[in-house]
Chain A
Amino acid sequence: MSHAIDTKQPASTLQGARLPNWAPYVIAAGSIAVGCGIGLAGGLDSRIQWGLIASILFLLVTYLLAAKIEGGRQAKDRMATSVVWVAFLLAVIPLVSLIWETVARGMKVLDSYFLTTSMGVLADTDVGGGIYHALIGTLEQVGLATLMAVPVGLLTAIYLVEYGRGKLAKAVTFFVDVMTGIPSIVAGLFILSFWILILDMGYSGFAGAMALAILMMPVVVRSTEEMLKLVPNELREASLALGVPKWRTILKVVLPTSIGGITTGVMLSVARIAGETAPVLLLVWGNPLINTNPFEGPQASLPLYIYQQYANSAGSPAAYDRAWAAALTLIILIMVLNLVARGIARWKAPKTGR
């Protein structure tokens, strides 16, 4: 025993005393236990308070112990480490809770009947019904928006990267950035003001798709731009040196090189607009019946369906169940898009030249 201590001696004089490696875990376990204990004893209903008490205890105990044993600077370092860990855990809690609640409550009514039935003439408080009409609406609106936004977004990105110099390109870059931050409801109000109030066209899936396209364009431009910038200049120069016209160089060399990244960006932007509710609420209006024509008459849409089931049902459990199930469907749809996008990104990783 004494021999072991002797060999450690030089290291400890150089480093100063340190808390053992397992100390943070023990303190964490202890403070969680005490936090729960206080919560139970004090009769606090909110688990949030239990968590808060536990984390404050953890921070305090770590700081005091470290200050005592290791000195002030080390104590501050440990404090910072714990604060950063607590910050991360705080962010994970809502995510886990949200996914858990959605899956647990959504599974109740999510089955093939739910996916293939519309609301028809059911009242919002009745049991039964489904989201078939909303699925069709969402797919059509998002599809139309993609058809409008992708060509414009791609060409704009090509302009910025391949041609863009001078004031116009600068203005476009700046406004694309600013456009990314337009609230979705403002895009909806814009289409409302000119398409419905001035041109008097009435609610339709197409009106919603236009607003979604406005939200989608800047995202497509930004992601495509980043991908085009990754294409090495040597490829362009080689192609131009062979006498290939610039437009063919772009179409045959630049775009194929970066197509994986561009597809990823487009799919991520599709995932983003698929969950937009506000413009759909203003422009597509919602419809309990199946309407497969996006150019005529109100349609339903998945996010709007969730909102209406929640807001119009005066607390009916059947409607809440449907809202959760629709939310689960929407999250699954978006996660699949995200995963496919990431898969493509990994499969066709941006070719950086070297």
Chain B
Amino acid sequence: MDISPSTTAPPPPPQDLKASSPVSHKAASRGATRPGDRIFLGLSRGSGILLLLIMAAIAAFLTYRASIVLSENEGNFLTTFEWDANSIPPVFGIAVLAFGTVISSIIAMLIAVPIAVGIALFITHYAPRKLSGPIAYVIDLLAAVPSIVYGLWGALFLVPHLTGFYSWLNDYFGWTGILEWQGGAPRSLLTVGILLAIMILPIITNVSREVFKQAPQMHQEAALALGATRWEVIRMSVLPFGRSGIISASMLGLGRALGETMAVATVLSPSFLINTSILDPGGGTFAQNIASKFSEATVQGRDALIASGLVLFVITLVVNGAARAIIARRKEYSGANA
């Protein structure tokens, strides 16, 4: 219930203005003479514009630096399987990075979305009412842990504990080719995907939870009255209502997974080849490549990293923009900001 005031709030300001339109006209005309009002409006509008300028500047500066180095690139930026950006002339391409980023994010989504939806349902429909608050808090705690700590935990705890799982996967599913394992340290895209899944769980859970909470009570009670089981109530009235919410929540999670840097940089052992098996080393991610190549990069090498960062920026912009557009289309979810 505490969501509804904030979500019904967007309409009131215009209404309020309409209702008191003669007053506000006068106030506006008199406001122009009041220096305090003018300064305050100028300041607050100025900060809004500043935010837009920052976004524009990010795009502009990244594009500018990227254009310098891209004109000198000997390789094909999109298809070269190599990152030798410090040499003159530089040879680099993002094919491997794009592959690794996409694959690790897909793995993370495949693991995280079902579990997150399950947890969200658990909090809204299954957990004892007294427990659901603390449980939501525990999930928030997962979100508050910094990514570098996830990275440290992933590298020093998760990786050693995954060898058994890896050899099991290799024994039973190795024939697929995708889950084949040569026996190296399990610092591959699958491990990265598992770690990313843990990291994006909270955001997907929180957004879907807000949506499930708002599923119409009447529908649920009607279904119960017809003798539906709890699962049938959820399947027939909660999930259809929350579908677009789940989609946008997953896309917000995807945005996180695509841009995650430190956890990937500590866990993955990158390589500039593409491997069909997700258990063997192969691929890197955009963000991880920037973090690990940065310290030994020359100015030219940095520009190349900036060029790959620009690609990442555009991808996350599209993904997040789409997610927000879906949320905005169903305005009632606006309380579900993360």
CB of A216, distance to nearest CB on chain B (Å): 12
Write the A174-217 contact mask toward B (1 if CB under 8 angstroms, else 0): 11111111111111011011100110000000000000001001
Contacts of A245 in B (CB 8 A): 31, 34, 36-37
Tally of contact residues, A, Cβ under 8 A? 109
A186 touches B316 (CB 8 A): yes
B232 touches A73 (CB 8 A): yes
Write the B132-168 contact mask toward A (1 if CB under 8 angstroms, else 0): 0001001111101111111111011100011111001
CB of B279, distance to nearest CB on chain A (Å): 14
Q: Report the separation of the CA atoms of residues A169 and B27 in the bound assembly, to the nearest whole angstrom.
A: 21
Known: A49-B164, A229-B9, A247-B37. A193 touches B259 (CB 8 A): no
B256 touches A186 (CB 8 A): no
Q: Report the separation of the CA atoms of residues A236 and B163 in the bound assembly, to the nearest whole angstrom.
A: 62
The DSSP consensus for interface residues of chain A is helix
Residue from the list A77, A92, A190, A247 in contact with B138, Cβ < 8 A: A92
Write the B321-338 contact mask toward A (1 if CB under 8 angstroms, else 0): 101100010000001011
A178 touches B320 (CB 8 A): yes
A277 touches B262 (CB 8 A): yes
B146 touches A178 (CB 8 A): no
Q: Report the separation of the CA atoms of residues A192 and B54 in the bound assembly, to the nearest whole angstrom.
A: 14
Q: Report the separation of the CA atoms of residues A281 and B265 in the bound assembly, to the nearest whole angstrom.
A: 12
Q: Report the separation of the CA atoms of residues A172 and B46 in the bound assembly, to the nearest whole angstrom.
A: 11
Q: Which of A164, A192, A250, A303 has the most CB of B within 10 A?
A: A192
Binds B, one of A26-34, A57-65, A96-104, A120-128: A96-104
Tally of contact residues, B, Cβ under 8 A? 113
Asked if A155 is at the interface (CB within 8 A of a chain B CB), the reply is yes
B48 touches A159 (CB 8 A): yes
A159 touches B115 (CB 8 A): no
CB of B159, distance to nearest CB on chain A (Å): 12
B144 touches A248 (CB 8 A): no
Asked if B129 is at the interface (CB within 8 A of a chain A CB), the reply is no
CB of A170, distance to nearest CB on chain B (Å): 10
Nearest residue, chain A, Cβ from B2: A352
Residue from the list B10, B39, B259, B287 in contact with A229, Cβ < 8 A: B10
Known: A46-B168, A197-B65. A177 touches B150 (CB 8 A): no
Residues of chain A in range 295-310 having any CB-CB distance to chain B below 8 Å: 303, 306-307, 310
Known: A85-B122, A88-B135, A185-B291. A48 touches B161 (CB 8 A): yes
Write the B28-39 contact mask toward A (1 if CB under 8 angstroms, else 0): 000100101101
Known: A45-B163, A46-B161, A186-B58. A307 touches B309 (CB 8 A): no
Known A94-B198, A169-B48, A307-B266; 6 more pairs at CB < 8 Å: A76-B231, A87-B115, A165-B14, A175-B55, A181-B319, A245-B36
Q: List 27 A-B contacts (CB under 8 A).
A: A46-B162, A46-B168, A73-B229, A80-B234, A84-B118, A84-B122, A86-B118, A88-B119, A94-B142, A97-B157, A175-B55, A177-B337, A180-B320, A180-B337, A185-B312, A186-B58, A186-B316, A192-B302, A193-B65, A194-B57, A198-B65, A246-B27, A247-B34, A275-B148, A278-B287, A278-B290, A327-B149
